[in-house]
Amino acid sequence: MNVLARTFTVVVALTFAAAPAATMAANATATASAKPVTVDIRNFAFAPKTLTIPAGTRVVWTNRDDEPHLVVSAGHQFASSRALDTSDSYAVTFDHAGTYTYYCGIHPMMVGTVIVQ
């Protein structure tokens, strides 16, 4: 094999090797953006208090307090949780853009907002 032919072989091999890698990277990005976003309920507050997410994101609230808490949609825009005991979680997938305010049904001073873009 002369040098030119060998170079051509290497370029072709690299082109085919690179294609699956690029596809895998694209899939990894899609998976990363679909990851659930966590809101901790801690010290009688939602953290973060305001969350901005792309449409289609699943939000998971987890109670880190020793007191029970609830997640209740202020405008009945999504289903309310049951009472969450310590370490219990509640998840809602937000498919549509909008501003969703919520509060704790036991401690109504606890408020949070999910902004879906």
Q: Which residue numbers belong to the known binding site?
A: 69, 104, 107
Shortest Å distance, C-beta 107 to Cu ion = 4
Binding residues for Cu cation: 69, 104, 107
Shortest Å distance, C-beta 62 to Cu ion = 13
Cα–Cα distances in Å, from 16 out to 11, 19, 46, 47, 48?
A: 9, 5, 49, 46, 44
Residue of 91, 107, 111, 115 interacting with Cu ion (CB under 5 A): 107
**106/115 with CB nearer Cu ion:** 106
| Residue given tokens 């094999």 in the structure block | 1
Cβ contacts of residue 53 below 8 Å, gap of 6+? 37, 59, 94, 114, 115, 116, 117
* CA-closest candidate to residue 100, choices 64, 65, 52, 67: 52
Residue of 57, 61, 69, 71 interacting with Cu ion (CB under 5 A): 69
104 contributes a contact to Cu ion by CB under 5 A? yes
58 contributes a contact to Cu ion by CB under 5 A? no
**84/116 with CB nearer Cu ion:** 84
Longest CA pairwise span in the chain (Å): 79
Q: What is the DSSP letter of 106?
A: S
Residue of 60, 106, 111, 115 interacting with Cu ion (CB under 5 A): 106
Contacts with Cu ion by CB under 5 A lie at 69, 104, 106-107
